[in-house]
Structure 1
Amino acid sequence: MNLPNAITVARLVLAAVFVGAASLATPAGNLVALVTFVVAAFSDFLDGYLARKLNLVTSLGKLLDPLADKILVSAAFIHLSAAGLCPVWVTSLIIAREFLVTGLRQIAVEQGEVIAADNLGKWKTTFQLTFCIAALIWLLVENNPESPLHGLTKPNGWLLLVSLYGAFALTALSGFNYTWKGRHLLKG
């Protein structure tokens, strides 16, 4: 197993650690969940960069990388919905879109085609990760009004609202865009 694939597998392990830590719903658990999520999110950038830079792109990496991303993001949104920071319908849309696009890409690969990532998808990821990190910070500082992060990350504050509804809009748009690009694959 090469280095980028090992980083991807580590992200799957970090997703499990995130779920365990987040489920504790304690300050220590929230801190571990936040740090784990940030490290896992950074590893998504790192494994792709290394795979391209070192010419280590593999079929396994192409399969595992998006799967690890979907698991991490889905776990975070489910947790944040359970914590009351994200409407369940937004989480449902995000998870449905993630797995729809992954399935569509897999069908494309099986038919010898590639549906490449586009800028909408990259912006979607940026907004999703921003929301998740800001919301996880809120869970850490919500009982500490003296924290400089308290006002920035509060649920009705601009950062959470803009990143959440930006993620929602970009998720819907990019999901439609990928479906449109791959519509010929769905005709059977």
Structure 2
Amino acid sequence: MNLPNKLTVIRIAIVPFFVFFMCCQDVPYRFIWALLLFIAASVTDLLDGKLARKYDLVTNFGKFLDPLADKILVAAALVCFVELGWTYSWVVVVILLREFAVSGVRLAAISGDKRAVIPANIWGKVKTVFTLVAIIAILAMHILMTFGILADTNAFVVADGGTLLKIEETAGGAFVSIPVQIISDVLMYLTAAITLISGVKYLYDSREFIDPKK
């Protein structure tokens, strides 16, 4: 196994540890550890392709496994986001449906008469980069909120006497207030839109490799 493929395997191996830190409430600074792991996994995604192309180490195994590793990493992060209430489940379902559809087509192409391995197109690469950046941004905002550096202008708390106050009204000078949830929603909506566009483009480009009669 060459170095780019090893980096891809490492990216997959990071996923269980990322999920552990995202979901285990008893671990101190768990979101920070999760963010560091996610960034490390994202770096391997940037490196493996560049190394493979630069040193002529591109293999069919790598062309198949690299996008699969991306899907596993992103799916794990998005499911954790839903579990934590950071995003809507329907957005994640839309994104994952596209990923399953593309994976199915990729498997069908490999098992077909042409034994074709269809690499990701430019839209797929844009989708991957944007999704990774969006996940990192959302996770970073929630870390800043955990440490009291950032406050969501649309979040509410119950003050003394049961009065419902916006968090920005109780923050004083210790917070920077921005619409965290709105920003998160916009990032996820854009991710879903780019994901769908890249999926349609991939399915269109793959039509010659798929024989629906077989």
1:89 partner amino acid: W
Q: Deviations for 1:99-137, whole angstroms, at most 9, x for unmatched residues?
A: 211221222233323434222222222221122101111
* Structure 2 residue identity aligned to 1:60: F
Q: Counterparts of 1:169 and 1:114 in 2: how far apart (Å)? A: 25
| 1:152 shift after superposition | 6.0
- Kindly name which structure, 1 or 2, has the bigger radius of gyration based on alpha carbons: 2
Partner of 1:48: 49
- Whichever residue aligns with residue 46 of structure 1, its letter is L
Report the counterpart of residue 11 of structure 1 in structure 2.
Answer: 11
What does residue 187 of structure 1 align with?
212
Higher alpha-carbon deviation: 19-28 or 72-81: 19-28
* Superposed structure 1 runs of 4+ greater than 6 Å apart: none
Paired position in structure 1 for 2:92: 91
Q: Could you tell me which residue of structure 1 aligns to residue 165 of structure 2? A: none
Amino acid across the alignment from 2:87: C
1:27-52 residue CA offsets vs partner (Å, 9 max, x unmatched): 52111110000110110110111111
Separation in structure 2 between the aligned mates of residue 60 and residue 121 of structure 1, nearest angstrom: 18
| TM-score for both structures, normalised by structure 2 | 0.77
Does the Cα contact within 8 Å between 2:18 and 2:38 map onto a contact in 1? yes
Separation of aligned partners in 1, 2:139 and 2:110: 35
Q: Which residue of 1 aligns with 2:171?
A: none
Q: Which runs of 5+ in 2 are unaligned?
A: 152-174
Contact 1:27 1:140 in 2 (8 A): no
Give the equivalent residue in structure 2 for 1:23.
23
Q: Which residue identity does 2:39 align to in structure 1? A: V
Tell me if structure 2 keeps the 8 A contact 1:138–1:153: no
Match of 2:185 in 1: 161
Counterparts of 1:5-154 in structure 2, within 5 Å, are 5-25=5-25, 27-111=28-112, 112=114, 113-147=116-150, 151=177, 154=180
Amino acid at match of 1:3: L
Q: Select the structure that is richer in helix.
A: 1
Tell me, in whole angstroms, the C-alpha distance in 2 between the residues paired with 1:175 and 1:13.
Answer: 26
Q: Number of aligned pairs?
A: 186
* Structure with the higher fraction of residues in strand conformation: 2
Aligned residue type for 2:182: N
**For the structure 1 residues 151 and 56, does the alpha-carbon distance in structure 2 shift closer, same or farther, using more than 3 Å as the test?**
farther
Cα distance, 1:33–1:55 mapped onto 2, change above 3 Å: same
Q: Percent identity?
A: 38
Offset of 1:64 from its aligned partner?
2.1
Q: What SS class does the counterpart of residue 76 from structure 2 fall into?
A: helix
Provide structure 1 residue ranges, at least 5 long, that are not aligned to the other structure. Answer: none
Distance of 2:176 and 2:62 partners within structure 1: 38
